[in-house]
């Protein structure tokens, strides 16, 4: 067996493992192939489900007046996609407009009541645990992945590594650049703080969709 | 938070906790589920190797703690963070209070920090007029209830959904449902507004990475990401024990931490913060970040040759997860602020002897915590050492001193045991149990029948019993321990018969005494050492291949604690090593050394089960030998649920905390009865005493015997 074949096979098994482990952590993983397909997937998700309204996200439960006020600032469906290239953002934005969704790349602090979808790229995928690594020094990106009801994260298959230790050097590079904020994200936000019952979406996304793309 | 002023009051708190049905049910379910899911989480790894990596790294980090701190500070400050050092809780709180004033903060949002619990930070900030809100769901719940955490990782594990329902109804001013999913979403939306308003975020940290000046925060909810992103000021409070050299070192801890804590391969979020990050609402769009390192007794611990290993603790909380006593009484009774085995130790160093005095006595020494610890910490030994320190500082209680004085003198001790035979005459039944106990002395002990002292101790039977072996395969010294010598000599007799069949020559040195474990349990370390030396001397001249004991606790104590007890005397080092290397428990000796075969026995197919003594399965790592022996001897072996969980005896523990001992026993007997077995075997006379007494009290027909008796009775007669 030649070395390149070996590498190819171990890459393949890292990919399989990543998918298996991410699903075990309750992420939805789909191999969409291209950016265009990822956009279609996301618009479909936003249109068909409209996150916060259809899930049991507690909108019908009464809140204290202050919390209720914040919630009511959320109007219409919004996809937040900071840190895309301008070409990619334009493509996403134009399709959002066609469908009547808002599409923003900044201003997350005025959307704290929640956006429907946060649309981002992952920098590394860790196969051993199905983890996404997001280098997110900018706060728009951090907030887009936290205050969204669904987080859609695109990941190039080539960025999947065996385990966290294989990502160590890259993390070091992120952190040595000066102020940095790096996130490991594995599945949706969860808690078991009431009666140890696993409950999804306590502070962050209710769902994590990982879309695998070729590059 | 446990704050009883006396052992008597502490016992009352324990009884009150036992009466909390919800707590008992919740912790029972958790204990069983945890064991299984943890095993799954580690399935594809060598757990010992992973823990070994953490131990080596943490021990190394401790050696260079000052250098790591300096490196961290330089890196972090170079990236725009201010690093502070606080020598105690008050200083840490003052630093954070000052930062809040200087930055004109009014509202604080917090993510979970045990260190902030340790310093009682919230009280100080609230006294300053700040509004402080915990954002971890469990922490928020207990904050609203004005109580402390009852578990390090699951702070509200003691509460039911109905209690949360009531609480959230109060908070929102509207009646909420008891649907957990909906209650969680109420918290999501209530707290979102708190995040939006806060000007200061306070977090803890799981790692402080020196090479980059980065902190790592491990959460499932993602609240730490919001706490460290939205407010314009971020303060992270952490112990100096969180310093690690590299990112890889942090990842090594992470790999064990989440699997050991909640049986997750990883938590939903791990957040790595380096330097003054972008923040839209901060001046210059740079967040004002402060990392506060806390000593508060940690350096004192680090400087101590025995206690320095506490630095390896990664705060996974697993020692509580497996503690049979925690499972009964919960974290508010089994901890001051830190919970479980590690909490018993930390309380002494962080919060002083008052917080630890009663707690440290509530360890049953089953070693379940030591077995599971992510940092490989010898928790039971350290708990005992804290107990000893407190006694040395404050004076030993009289019963403990008396026991020490008596046990130091073997002849006096054995004479007392012999006279007990006469003293018990008025209450001794003819079935080997006391008919009734003078209840004035044994008020809470009526859950088990207590045995009478034997008519003749084994040491008196031995001269006539000693078999002559023509061509010995092995020479063995018998170590009986007090219980088998004076209460159950028939167990020793059974062993002698079985061993003789296999050409084992035996000796029984008459100068042997109690192994010393009961003294250790009472934290009478000095006498424990004296007794160890006596036993070492007693066997010194014996030319034997093995020292066999039928008592798992004796075996484990002789083997593992003697080197520790006698380590000060360097002259003894080789002798101790020679002694301990020969010590073996009965089952391992018969199974591994004698290698008995099915044809040595005439099986009767009796349905039997096994209780694994703590000091056999965890103390000596023996699991299969006794079970295999029962099958080899032709019995129908049935594994009981939770066979390796403590029976509640714990030597002197059962005398000190009878109400807890009783609960552990009842659970054990239920599990045994569920197997449908006719006989319950175990490898420890103390466990026999507890289990047989409990079965008798229940009126059960299940016989309780030492495994060696089961084997001896089924020997093929030669």
- Which domains are present in chain B? 7-33+317-392 (no CATH), 65-298 (3.40.50.10420), 597-713 (3.40.50.1860)
Share of chain B above pLDDT 90, in %: 87
Helix (H) or strand (E) holding B216: strand B214-219
**CB–CB contact B173 A64 (8 Å):** yes
Assess whether pLDDT exceeds 90 at residue B689.
Answer: yes
Query: What is the per-residue pLDDT across A140-157, written as a single tens digit (0 to 9) for each?
Result: 999 999 999 999 999 999
Among B33, B80, B154, B185, the residue to mutate for chain A (most A Cβ within 10 A): B185
Q: Mean pLDDT throughout A64-82?
A: 80
Four-CA torsion A90, A93, A95, A96, nearest 10 degrees: 180
The model's pLDDT over B491-521, given as tens digits with 9 standing for 90+, comes to 999 999 999 999 999 999 999 999 999 888 8
Q: Identify which of B173, B184, B229 has the shortest CB distance to residue A202.
A: B184
B283: confidence class by pLDDT, cuts 50, 70, 90: confident
Q: What is the mean pLDDT of residues B301-325?
A: 96
If you count residue pairs, one on A and one on B, with CB atoms under 8 Å apart, how many are there? 218
Residue of A58, A147, A165 lying closest to B251 (CB–CB): A165
pLDDT digits (tens, 9 = 90+) for B234-279: 999 999 999 999 999 999 999 999 999 999 999 999 999 999 999 9
pLDDT tens for residues A157-209? 999 999 999 999 999 999 998 899 999 999 999 999 999 999 998 999 999 99
Q: pLDDT digits over B587-605, tens only? A: 999 999 999 999 999 989 9
Is pLDDT at B442 greater than 70 in this prediction? no
- Which residue is associated with the tokens 């012999």? B418
User: Does the beta-carbon distance from B182 to A58 stay under 8 Å?
Assistant: yes
Q: How many residues does chain A have?
A: 215
The confidence score (pLDDT) of residue B438 equals: 52
The pLDDT assigned to B428 comes to 77
Phi and psi at residue A160, in whole multiples of 5°? -85, 130
According to DSSP, residue A10 is labeled: H
Question: Nearest-CA residue of chain B relative to A185?
Answer: B269
Number of helical (H) and strand (E) elements in chain A, helices listed first: 7, 12
Cβ B547 vs Cβ B584: under 8 Å: yes
* pLDDT digits 0-9 by tens, B73-98: 999 999 999 999 999 999 999 999 99
Interatomic CA distance for residues B216 and B210, integer angstroms:
11
Work out the pLDDT band at A53, boundaries 50, 70, 90: very low
Of A63, A128, A188, nearest to B189 by CB-CB distance is A63
Residue B398: band (very low, low, confident or very high) from pLDDT cuts 50, 70, 90:
confident
Least Cα separation, residue A63 to chain B (angstroms): 5
The HSE-up count of residue B574 (CA atoms within 13 Å, CB side) is: 1
Q: Are B214 and B322 in contact (CB under 8 A)?
A: no
The reply to whether residue B180 touches residue A197, judged by beta carbons under 8 angstroms, is yes
Residues of A in contact with B247 (CB under 8 A): 168, 171-172, 175
Percent of residues in chain A assigned helix, strand, coil, to nearest 5: 40, 25, 30
* Per-residue confidence (pLDDT) for residue A7, from 0 to 100: 61
Cβ within 8 Å, pair B30-A202: no
Q: Are B230 and A111 spatial neighbours (Cβ–Cβ below 8 Å)?
A: no
Beta bridge partners of A78: A102
- At B140 the pLDDT is 97
> How much is the mean pLDDT over chain B?
94
Distance CA B147, CA B166 (A): 16
Chain B residue numbers touching A71 (CB-CB < 8 A): 189, 192
Facing residues of B499 across strands? none
3-state helix, strand, coil in chain B (%, to 5): 55, 15, 35
Q: Give pLDDT, residue A51.
A: 45
DSSP string, B521-579: HTT-HHHHHHHHHHHHHHHHT---SEEEES-HHHHHIIIIIHHHHTTT-GGGHHHHHHH
| Shortest CA gap A189–chain B (Å) | 5
Name which of A64-78, A84-98, A158-172, B137-151 the model is least confident about: A64-78
Per-residue model confidence (pLDDT) at position B402: 81
Question: Where do the domains of chain A lie, and which CATH numbers do they carry?
Answer: 3-213 (3.40.50.10420)
B522 vs B489, higher pLDDT: B489
Q: Which residues contact B380 (CB under 8 A, 6 or more apart)?
A: B341, B363, B365, B366, B367, B369, B370
**ipTM value > 0.90:** yes
8 Å CB contact between B619 and B560: yes
Bridge partners (DSSP) of residue A29 are: A210
B377 pLDDT above the threshold of 80: yes
By CA distance, what is A188's nearest residue in B? B268
Report chain B residues whose CB lies below 8 A from the CB of A139: 229, 277-280
Give me the pLDDT at residue B429, please. Answer: 78
Rounded to a whole number, what is the distance in Å from the CA of A96 to chain B's nearest CA? Answer: 26
Q: Is the pLDDT of residue B49 over 50?
A: yes
pLDDT at position A47, please?
87
How many CA atoms lie less than 13 Å away from B572 in the CB half-sphere? 19
Residue B583 has pLDDT above 60, yes or no: yes
| pLDDT value at A57 more than 70 | no
pLDDT at B656 over 50: yes
A113's enclosing H/E stretch is none
Sheet containing strand A28-33, strands side by side: A28-33, A207-213, A148-156, A115-121, A78-80, A102-104
Return all residues near B444 (Cβ < 8 A) that are at least 6 apart. Answer: B658, B659, B662
Minimum CA–CA partner of A57 in chain B: B185
Q: What is the pLDDT of residue A56?
A: 41
Asked if B192 lies within 8 A of A112 by C-beta distance, the reply is yes
Q: Which of A203, A185, A201, A151 is nearest to A42 (CA)?
A: A151
pLDDT at residue B520 in the model? 87
Burial class for B430, CB neighbours closer than 10 Å (0-12, 13-18, 19+): exposed
Residue B71 with chain A: CB contacts under 8 Å: none
Residue A11, pLDDT above cutoff 70: no
B174-212 pLDDT, tens digit per residue, is 999 999 999 999 999 899 999 999 999 999 999 999 999
């806060």: which residue's tokens? B198
pLDDT band per the 50, 70, 90 thresholds, residue A113: confident
A25–B188: do the CB atoms touch at under 8 Å?
A: no
Cβ neighbors of B323 (< 8 A, separation 6 or more) are B334, B340, B341, B368, B369
Mean pLDDT of the region B402-406: 83
Place of tokens 């990392």: B291
**DSSP secondary structure code for residue B269 in this structure:** E
CB < 8 Å to A180, chain B: 79, 214, 272-275, 277
């Amino acid at each position: 067996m030649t070395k390149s074949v070996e590498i190819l096979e171990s890459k393949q098994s890292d990919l399989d493992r990543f998918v298996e482990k991410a699903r075990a952590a309750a992420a939805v993983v789909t191999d969409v192939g291209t950016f265009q397909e990822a956009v279609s997937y996301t618009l479909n998700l936003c249109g068909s489900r409209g996150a916060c309204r259809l899930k049991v996200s507690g909108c019908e439960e009464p809140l204290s007046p202050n919390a209720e006020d914040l919630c009511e600032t959320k109007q219409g469906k919004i996809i937040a996609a900071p840190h895309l290239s301008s070409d990619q953002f334009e493509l996403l934005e134009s399709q959002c407009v066609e469908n009547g969704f808002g599409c923003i790349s900044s201003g997350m602090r005025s959307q704290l009541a929640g956006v429907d979808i946060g649309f981002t790229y992952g920098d590394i995928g860790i196969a051993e645990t199905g983890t996404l690594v997001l280098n997110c020094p900018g706060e728009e990106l951090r907030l887009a992945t936290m205050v969204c009801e669904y987080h859609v994260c695109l990941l190039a298959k080539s960025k999947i590594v065996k385990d966290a230790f294989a990502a160590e050097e890259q993390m070091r590079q992120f952190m040595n650049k000066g102020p940095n904020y790096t996130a490991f994200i594995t599945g949706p936000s969860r808690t078991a703080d009431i009666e140890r019952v696993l409950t999804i979406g306590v502070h962050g996304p209710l769902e994590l969709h990982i879309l695998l793309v070729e590059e | 938070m446990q704050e009883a002023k006396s052992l008597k009051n502490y016992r009352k708190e324990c009884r009150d906790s036992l009466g909390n049905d919800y707590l008992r049910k919740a912790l029972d379910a958790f204990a069983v589920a945890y064991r299984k899911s943890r095993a799954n989480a580690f399935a594809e790894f060598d757990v010992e190797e992973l823990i070994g990596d953490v131990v080596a790294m943490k021990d190394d980090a401790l050696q260079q703690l000052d250098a790591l701190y300096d490196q961290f500070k330089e890196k972090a400050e170079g990236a725009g963070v201010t690093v502070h050092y606080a020598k105690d809780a008050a200083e840490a709180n003052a630093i954070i209070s000052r930062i809040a004033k200087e930055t004109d903060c009014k509202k604080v949002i917090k993510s979970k920090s045990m260190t902030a619990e340790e310093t009682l930070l919230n009280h100080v900030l609230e006294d300053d007029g700040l509004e402080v809100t915990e954002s971890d769901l469990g922490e928020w719940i207990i904050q609203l209830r004005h109580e402390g955490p009852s578990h390090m990782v699951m702070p509200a594990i003691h509460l039911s959904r109905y209690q949360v329902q009531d609480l959230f109804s109060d908070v929102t001013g509207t009646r909420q449902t008891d649907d957990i999913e909906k209650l969680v979403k109420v918290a999501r939306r209530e707290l979102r507004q708190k995040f939006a308003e806060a000007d200061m975020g306070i977090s803890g940290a799981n790692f402080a990475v020196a090479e980059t000046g980065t902190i790592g925060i491990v959460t499932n909810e993602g609240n730490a990401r919001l706490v460290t992103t939205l407010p314009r000021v971020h303060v992270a409070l952490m112990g100096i024990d969180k310093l690690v050299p590299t990112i890889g070192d942090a990842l090594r801890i992470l790999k064990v931490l989440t699997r050991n804590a909640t049986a997750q391969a990883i938590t939903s979020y791990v957040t790595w913060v380096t330097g003054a990050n972008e923040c839209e609402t901060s001046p210059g769009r740079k967040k004002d970040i402060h990392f506060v390192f806390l000593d508060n007794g940690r350096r004192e611990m680090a400087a101590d040759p025995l206690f320095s290993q506490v630095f390896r603790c990664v705060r996974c909380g697993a020692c509580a997860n497996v503690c049979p006593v925690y499972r009964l009484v919960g974290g508010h009774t089994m901890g001051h602020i830190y919970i479980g085995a590690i909490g018993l130790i930390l309380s002494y160093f962080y919060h002083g002897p008052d917080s630890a005095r009663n707690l440290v006595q509530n360890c049953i020494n089953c070693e379940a915590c030591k077995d599971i610890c992510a940092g490989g910490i010898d928790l039971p030994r350290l708990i005992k050492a804290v107990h000893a320190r407190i006694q040395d500082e404050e004076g030993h209680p009289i019963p403990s001193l008396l026991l020490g004085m008596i046990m130091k003198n073997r002849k006096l001790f054995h004479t007392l045991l012999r006279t007990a035979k006469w003293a018990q005459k008025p209450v001794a039944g003819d079935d080997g149990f006391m008919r009734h106990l003078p209840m004035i002395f044994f008020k809470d002990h009526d859950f088990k029948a207590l045995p009478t002292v034997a008519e003749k101790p084994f040491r008196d039977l031995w001269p006539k019993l000693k078999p002559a072996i023509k061509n010995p395969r092995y020479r063995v010294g018998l170590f009986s321990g007090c219980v088998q010598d004076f209460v159950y000599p028939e167990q020793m007799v059974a062993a002698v018969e079985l061993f003789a069949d296999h050409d084992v020559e035996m000796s029984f040195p008459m100068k042997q005494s109690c192994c010393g474990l009961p003294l250790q349990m009472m934290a009478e370390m000095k006498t424990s050492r004296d007794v160890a030396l006596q036993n070492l001397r007693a066997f010194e001249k014996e030319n034997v291949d093995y020292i066999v004991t039928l008592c798992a606790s004796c075996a484990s104590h002789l083997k593992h604690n003697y080197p520790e007890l006698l380590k000060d005397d360097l002259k003894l080092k080789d002798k101790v090593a020679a002694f301990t290397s020969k010590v073996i428990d009965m089952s391992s000796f018969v199974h591994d050394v004698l290698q008995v075969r099915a044809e040595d026995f005439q099986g009767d197919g009796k349905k039997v089960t096994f209780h694994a003594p703590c000091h056999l399965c965890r103390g000596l790592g023996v699991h299969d030998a006794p079970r295999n022996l029962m099958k080899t001897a032709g019995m129908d072996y049935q594994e009981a649920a939770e066979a390796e969980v403590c029976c509640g005896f714990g030597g002197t523990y059962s005398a000190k905390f009878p109400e807890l001992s009783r609960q552990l026993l009842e659970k054990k007997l239920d599990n045994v009865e569920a197997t449908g077995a006719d006989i319950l075997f175990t490898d420890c006379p103390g466990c026999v005493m507890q289990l047989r007494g409990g079965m008798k009290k229940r009126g059960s027909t299940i016989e309780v015997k030492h495994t060696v008796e089961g084997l001896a009775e089924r020997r093929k007669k030669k």
